[in-house]
Amino acid sequence: MTVKGIFPRRTPPAPSAGWWAVALPLALMLASDYKLRSREVDQAVGGSADLTVLVEIAVYGAAALYLVYKFGLRPPTRRTTGLLFAGWVFCGYVAFTALWSPFNPLGVVRGTQLLITMLLAHTLATRATLGDLRKLAHVFIAIVVVSVAIGVAHPFPRTRNTEARFNWLYVHPVQAGIYLGIAVLLTAGYLIRWTTPRDRMWHPLLYIGALAVLSGALVATGTRGAALGCAAGLVLLLTTARGPKGRVDVLVLGAAVAVLGVLAFSDKILAFVARGESAETLSSLNSRTDLWSLAMKAYAEQPLFGNGLGASRGMFLDEMGLGGGHNAFVNALVDNGTVGTAAFVTLLLTLAFVLLTLARHRTLRADAGMLFGILAFFLVDSITTEGLAAPANVSNIWMLLIIAWAETMRRQGGDPLDPIDPPAEARAEAPETRRAPEWSAVPAPAHVEGASQQP
């Protein structure tokens, strides 16, 4: 007998596409958002590329070179799905608009990064396994928990507008809120899998501890859009991931928690929403409504094809002192015009439809519900942030990762569709197709291909 290693595996390892399926997406996120220095917005638009920017570009370039070296650029051997096609149309058009952007160097760089991210998502969609994506989710949660610890242990200098809000390194509290919101939804998505503990990689107590740390940090960031989006995502996650039983749980427990929360913490909730700002500031959403009015004028100048990728990043600096549209759909209208916004909305609707379809399969429902919750989080958070429609940030990267995750679930397949109210005769299994349980000692029928002829 040959023994392989001192501690031989009791079960074979789960299939995997390789380390790249976890490392490359995380490398793109960290290179895009985690900074060890702070720059003014005008320097980010028209300033020279410093070491941090060069490192970010190098990480994206290395990811592209690795994918091309390992898998090549051969045309697809299988028919492209509608979801992947919608993703390529959106990313391709957004990158193409950099050609007429008033900030051409920035647009070209961001467009190239967007195409590299879509290439990675397509490769994951056609080669990764659900085990790879679950590892990716858990490593992401661990990174965000460690980031919270860094922010507590060593707070970096903050600006006047963020000095009372939690963050880590030089990550803006808005971006930190997005990382925390995604991590909260991923943690909750694995914690509630009582019937499929095999999908978990940690002990339930670890999920509970991580959920407490992440939720507290999310509130401490003072990011109202991320907090509201996370609440909406949790509701949709619970109602979708657990089927009809989950909808009943949300209706009963959600109502009780909402009433208790309003009665016990109404003053804290109001303080979180107000965040020490005046009524005038709150009514304009921190000058966002003024910015959106200016953005509509810019959209009216180039309504069909837009002003080009990166235009909204610098067009409003002189008049408003703010970069970007601070709303994903406003940002898409200004940069990409009606054509690009239509491609963006089509992609989101297609992704939502695919996830709802996958949620009808019992074996895929947990993952589909979790991803649907994250998508809802992005849509709510996009009311006040533009990240979902802008390249090279955690929101956009995770949106494309959700596409890859949905396609991976479709490749794997699930059990037959779960009708809402199946008739009794449909639930009954035909005698000739009924299979003996795995523990049964009854031999397989002789007419089955490959069956043993011995009793």
Instruction: Render pLDDT for 328-360 as a digit per residue (tens, 0 to 9).
Output: 998 899 999 999 999 999 999 999 999 999 998
Instruction: Render pLDDT for 220-259 as a digit per residue (tens, 0 to 9).
Output: 998 888 999 999 998 889 888 877 665 555 555 555 455 4
Would you state the pLDDT for residue 42? 56
**CA 423 – CA 50 distance, rounded (Å):** 65
Would you state the pLDDT for residue 157? 80
**CA 313 – CA 123 distance, rounded (Å):** 30
- Cα 414 from chain centroid (whole Å): 22
Instruction: Render pLDDT for 9-45 as a digit per residue (tens, 0 to 9).
Output: 455 556 788 899 999 999 999 999 998 887 766 566 6
- H helices of 302-440, in order, are 311-315, 317-320, 328-358, 365-381, 394-412, 424-427
Instruction: Answer yes or no: is pLDDT of 133 > 60.
Output: yes
Dihedral sign (CA 131, 132, 136, 139): positive
Average pLDDT, the chain: 80
Would you state the pLDDT for residue 54? 92
Find the Cα–Cα–Cα–Cα dihedral 52, 54, 59, 62, rounded to 10°.
-160
- C-alpha distance from residue 92 to each of 112, 119, 400, 435 (Å): 10, 11, 13, 49
pLDDT band at 196, cuts 50/70/90? confident
Please state the domain extents for the chain.
20-241+273-415
Would you state the pLDDT for residue 249? 59
CA contacts within 13 A on the Cβ side of 307: 24
Instruction: Render pLDDT for 103-127 as a digit per residue (tens, 0 to 9).
Output: 888 899 999 999 999 999 999 999 9
pLDDT band at 314, cuts 50/70/90? confident
Q: Could you identify the residue written with the tokens 């051409």?
A: 104
